[in-house]
Amino acid sequence: MISEKNILAAESYKITQNEIGLKFITIDNELASAKIALQGAHIMQWKPHDIKNEVLWLSSNARYMHGRSIRGGVPICWPWFGAHPTDGSFCPHGFARVIPWRINEIIDLENGATKVTLVMLPTPEVNRQLSYQFNLEFSITIGSSIHLDLKTTNLSEQPFLIGEGYHTYFEISDIENIEVTGLENKIYSDKARGYKKFTQEDQIKFDAEFDRVYLNTKDTCVIHDQGFSRKITVQKQNSESTVIWTPWDKKVKTMVDMGTEHEWKKMICVETVNALENSVMVYPNQSHNLIAEYLVQEY
Ligand SMILES: O=P(O)(O)OC[C@H]1OC(O)[C@H](O)[C@@H](O)[C@@H]1O
């Protein structure tokens, strides 16, 4: 049951439910619209009203089922990124994206944006997978930009190490028509080549599967999209890795929820992450905030 007692003075939201009881928050304020699934605290859609095309890619055959991650939008990876470091039976990218969260509050802000704060509800399965106590809170501010803040608090007496990320799927005109800047001269670990390390020389263009963790990268990335005449800026704080991912035609055939045959060409993942050697130690009674902000400019 969702407790709605703490939902404050917001007029811009509605809560809906699908046929199997999964709940969704729909926001429509003076600046933007958005949709968030409570399972996984998963942002499925966000679009400022004055922007023509969708900003987040959402697969046309994404699954809205208990315990399944939605393909598209902003999946949250936590408390590990990729495979679990020691137990391959645990959910890839952690469990935050597949378990229930509850609404803490929804507030309409003076500038027209809406702030939604969600709190993770640990399940017995979560408690089986972790030996420590924590609190995980996710604040999303929906306006002409979108601001994401995932706050991990250590409630244990020992430090713990987390991997985390916003595995964000951005909508683009065509994968062969875009460039990503902001990672020039950075070292990356290439998952498609056995995690070997290389240096990124120039801006990124795509003509094959791409699955790279750029390490020690705090800078802003920009997706330049000539087809949509726009750029999307990904700013971040407290994130030291950036993952860029596109599956390409061969890998996409092994995935069941990537939409119709060429739908994958309309997405690129630019992920705000702390992974591998950039994983984060959270100390007792301390918090760590993973922050990202997305902004779209048409020209
Ligand atoms: O299918 P998922 O668990 O959502 O993962 C989707 C993709 O996420 C990444 O960024 C990984 O590096 C990929 O190897 C993986 O295929």
Judged on CB neighbours under 10 Å (0-12, 13-18, 19+), 199 is exposed
What is the position in ligand 1's atom list of the atom closest to the CA of 71? Answer: 4
At 88 the pLDDT is 86
Annotated catalytic residues are 167, 271
pTM for this model (two decimals): 0.96
Distance CA 27, CA 146 (A): 12
Helix (H, G, I), strand (E, B) or coil at 251: helix
Q: Give phi and psi for 125, each to the nearest 5.
A: -65, -40
Interface confidence, given as ipTM, is 0.97
With a 6 Å cutoff on the Cβ, whether 36 touches ligand 1 is no
Other CB atoms within a 10 A radius of the CB of residue 238 amount to 16
Give me the percent of the chain exceeding a pLDDT of 90: 90
Coil/strand/helix, residue 264: helix
What's the gap in Å between 82 CA and the centre of ligand 1? Answer: 7
The token duo for 146 is 């979108």
Cα–Cα separations (whole angstroms), residue 122 to 15, 29, 39, 119:
22, 31, 12, 9
Rounded average pLDDT over 255-272:
97
Quick check: 218 pLDDT over 90?
Answer: yes
Hey, what amino acid is at 259?
Answer: G
